[in-house]
Chain A
Amino acid sequence: MQKLYILYDAQCPFTLRYRHWLGDQPSFVPLEFIPFQSPELVAQFEGIAAYGTKAQLLVINNDGGVYQGPSASIICLFALKEYRDWAMRLSAPNLLPLATEAFDMLASGGKEIARWLSRLDDTELINVLSYEACRQSNQRQQPERTATPLKP
């Protein structure tokens, strides 16, 4: 792994925030950020459209390997100097399904939250992340409903 291309949705506030957070962290390998909204850059990767482009992070390594969903979160953390430990821990089978929530908390919670999370054992961490997943899915449904009437 010599380089990671991080494809993000510049119109989605969540992935945009992740992109800025990732850009601020010291990393082991160079990270190149590519918004889905610039087709000529996305066209560098033949066949990427099959993975979908809305409201998510897609990570492509220098060999063309595509990471999506929880794996994308893990590979992003793996690339960061201060979060590689987290990538190793979250790749365990019982934590892997919650890697996206963990990434979200680490990326938006700051150092204090990261330190607190790292003190939890696996069971406690799973509880916290599942609760967070629940809360977020409720939150994300809300704006969609209010947004519909605004469409012309």
Chain B
Amino acid sequence: MIPLLAFAETTGNPVTVWTYIAYLVVSVALTVWVARTLHKNGRIFLVDSFVGNEPLADSVNHLLVVGFYLINIGFVTLALKYGDRATDAQTALEILSTKVGLVLVVLGVMHFFNLFIFSKMRRRATLHKQTPPVLPQGYVKPVHG
């Protein structure tokens, strides 16, 4: 903590630097929390989407989490400099709030996009399992085949 403190005090505007540090910590923590929650609770949904193929569902679940981390941490780091600079406590809080809010909205959009894709896949999978809705009117004997 001491080197970080010293770093924040020596370079640039200390308020801006502290805002950035807080932004990174909060955003990355939120990303990790969302990714873990999705990983844990999304499994059942994925298993159903893949018609009970558990190894495939686990594999896709893991790959999704990796993609999720890449996109979100990528976005968080890219957006670090975006927007106004904090000069005092009030602007620091305002800017921190805007930035974290943006990260949350991006996380939410990605989450619903994933849900949309998988519910589509799930519908396809259930369609696949259906049995014909009508019965034959009669039977013939196929000679071959």
Contacts and interface: CB of A to CB of B under 8 A. Distances in A.
Interface stretch (B32-40, B81-89, B108-116, B131-139): B131-139
A82 B136 CA distance: 22
Interface string B117-145: 00000000001101011111111111111
> What is the interface of chain A mostly: helix, strand, loop, or mixed?
mixed
Judged by DSSP, the binding face of B is loop
A74 B134 contact: yes
A60 B137 contact: no
A44 B142 contact: yes
A93 B141 CA distance: 29
A47 B133 contact: no
Contacts of A64: 139-142
A28 interface: yes
B134 to A, nearest CB: 4
Interface string A67-92: 11111001100100000110110010
A134 to B, nearest CB: 24
Nearest to B123: A85
Interface string A1-34: 1010000000000000000000000001000000
A113 interface: no
Interface residues of A, number: 32
Interface in A103-127: none
A88 B128 CA distance: 12
A89 to B, nearest CB: 9
B126 to A, nearest CB: 10
Given A28-B128, A84-B127, A45 B142 contact: yes
Contacts of B133: 74, 78, 87-88, 91
B128 A44 contact: no
Given A61-B136, A65-B139, A78-B130, 11 more contacts: A28-B128, A44-B144, A51-B137, A62-B142, A66-B138, A70-B134, A71-B134, A71-B137, A75-B134, A88-B133, A91-B134
20 contacts: A44-B143, A44-B144, A45-B141, A45-B142, A46-B141, A46-B143, A50-B138, A51-B137, A62-B142, A63-B139, A65-B135, A65-B136, A65-B138, A65-B139, A67-B136, A74-B132, A84-B127, A85-B127, A87-B132, A88-B130
Interface of B: 127-128, 130, 132-145
